[in-house]
Amino acid sequence: MRSSSLLFLLLLSFLVGVCDARVASPFRICAFNLQSFGESKSNKGDVMKTIVRIITRCDVCLLQEVRDSKQKALPKLLVDLNSHDTRHEYKAVASERLGRSEAYQEQYVFVYRADTVTVTGQYQYPDNRPGDVDAFAREPFVVRFKAPKTAIKEFALIPQHTTPTNTTKELDALYDVLQHVKKMWKIENVMLLGDFNAGCSYLPKKYRKNVRLITDETLHWLISDNDDTTVRATTTCAYDRIVVHGERFAKAVVPLSAKPFDFPTEYQLTEEQALDVSDHYPVEVLLRNTASKVSSSLLLILFLLLTFICS
């Protein structure tokens, strides 16, 4: 009796071990408006500690409002990321500095785990739409990624940080960017993400019928109007969004995984401490992993073995 129990426990442990080995963590894509991230913010130890903790949760993380004119903050961030999480290698790909004014310019930066994903293409979208040569204040910097362990395998990410006073126009223009990227790279798996300012007074309901990014039924808005992506207790707005194109990409998303990440609560920060990091929550979504299911035949064999021992 004891030997049977021992064998049962050993086999059960083996089954758990097999499941743990075969079930890989879902692939996490994030977007985070870092609110004027530059040399000054990068020199604040407590702030950088929180930023690093947030980014290292993600396989790919889009950063916005990177204002690193001296090109010191981003290299420091990468050093801190790789020191904090030695299980992965973090790299970054960045746009040129963007903005209509020399006095205020930003970069889009994608930080990614080089051991789980590779960059297979990048494209700086020119602001030269027919009849409208200045649609965006900060033109999208589009990056294509290959992630072999995900169900989707390869996808393109289109970032956008809209100008609050021009949100409707810029969101509608993003639809043209989407069509251009699909044709250029012959790809259907496309995600649009970032601080769209797509909430409250910046995107009134009466204007939404004029935004093709909203009216096209092939596009899935994963962050709802009822979500709050702001840190301040006095605001409740869904500014930051994630939008997926196509049914195949939508099916690769883990259900109900798209959400804002409430880092002040998670890391027990006061509102003042959190605002030193950013006035936005990051938004995130999980993609299914190809190793997310243990094979049914293996489970059947182990179940039969367990039944035999216990009989």
Give the CA-trace dihedral at 130, 131, 133, 137, to 10 degrees. Answer: -100
Cα 49 from Cα 52, distance rounded (Å): 5
Which one is catalytic: 65, 139, 161, 284?
A: 161
Task: Mark whether 280 is an active-site residue.
Answer: no
Task: Mark whether 88 is an active-site residue.
Answer: no
Alpha carbon of residue 36 to chain centroid: 19
Q: What are the φ/ψ torsions at residue 263 (nearest 5 degrees)?
A: -70, -30
The b-or-e profile of 228-238 (16+ CB within 10 A means b, else e) is bbbbeeeeebb
153-159 sheet: strands from edge to edge: 118-124, 141-147, 153-159, 190-195, 240-245, 219-221
Q: Looking at the chain, how many residues does it have?
A: 311
Instruction: Dig out the tokens for 98 from the structure.
Output: 């963007």
Which one is catalytic: 106, 139, 170, 284?
A: 106
**Active-site positions?**
106, 161
